[in-house]
Amino acid sequence: MSETVTCKARGARGKAVRPPLWLTVLSLAAFALLIALGVWQIERRAWKLALIDRVEQRVHAAAQPIPSPTSWPTVTAASDEYRHVAVTGRFLHDREALVQAVTEEGPGYWVLTPLRRDDGTLVLINRGFVPSERRDASARQEGNRQGLVQGEVKDHVKVTGLLRMSEPKGGFLRTNDPVHDRWYSRDVAAIAAARDLHDVAPFFIDADAGSQSGGGPIGGLTVVRFPNNHLIYALTWFALAFMLAGKLFVTFGGGLFRRRRFVHEPAGDSAARRTGSDAGTIVEPT
């Protein structure tokens, strides 16, 4: 007579691996954060596209008079920058300032000259770019073309261009140095103070293209470009979120899925499949 003993192996596939509570909470928080960042980038993209469209309309619109002095305190980048404007007056060439610049024409300077309007207020005009070797006014062979001022024109003139906001503090990783007349950004307030100018508009105007004549300043070099990589950023955040979800499923969800399938198998099928390493028969002699 023999005694048969049936032994059941307890494999990992019959056991669900549950992650610790802290890991579950942390993973859910990370997933939610990644999704939120993706949604935020989508919203930023919509805002950026609207901004680009708005600026394009301003740049290509017909020139309008600049804001009146009473409305200067309300002029902002959001509502006014890059507006196509026109202004008339007389240039104060003895008060011009040269601001370091790097353009498609190479390194050099912006020539900022105050324009005195008929009401006595002043507006700084960025007449354009000059290369370093023409920094001094005496080195420029300047004239007049298409009604846009090039050089030291004494007549009453009309200038059209894009309204730009002041650039305080400095640029090129340098701070403006009014004492030594070194300018790295178009800081309207600082330039006005250094030149003893009063009643100056809090913005300046980039003169339109078409003012180049001889060795005079080259206008129309305003760069209107807005980086728009928000869609790429959004896809990146969403991809990271789903990669995290996939990793969690592979690590923890797979075992739980297999366990549930094992538990719900019919008794007969389950017994029939318990072979090899899952079940064995030991026969002991009597």
Q: Which residues of 57-89 are buried (b: 16+ CB within 10 A; e: fewer)?
A: ebeeeebeebbeeeeeeebeeeebbbbbbebeb
User: Tell me: the pLDDT tens digits for 66-89?
Assistant: 999 999 999 999 999 999 999 999
Q: Which residues of 31-53 are buried (b: 16+ CB within 10 A; e: fewer)?
A: beebbebbeebbebbeebeeeee
Return the H-helix or E-strand segment holding 55: helix 21-60
Q: Which residues of 188-213 are buried (b: 16+ CB within 10 A; e: fewer)?
A: bebbbebbebeebbebbbbbbeebbb
pLDDT at 62 over 50: yes
Domain ranges of the chain: 2-44+229-285, 83-207
pLDDT at 104 over 50: yes
User: CB-based contacts of 190: which residues, under 8 Å, 6+ apart?
Assistant: 168, 176, 178
Q: How far apart are CA 242 and CA 38, in angstroms?
A: 12
Q: How confident is the model at residue 259 (pLDDT cuts 50, 70, 90)?
A: low
- Using a pLDDT cut of 70, give the percent of the chain over it: 74
pLDDT at 132 over 80: yes
User: Tell me: the pLDDT tens digits for 10-50?
Assistant: 444 545 567 788 888 898 899 999 999 999 999 999 999 98
User: CB-based contacts of 131: which residues, under 8 Å, 6+ apart?
Assistant: 105, 106, 107, 108
pLDDT at residue 188, as a whole number? 97
Question: What residues are paired with 206 via a beta bridge?
Answer: 126, 162
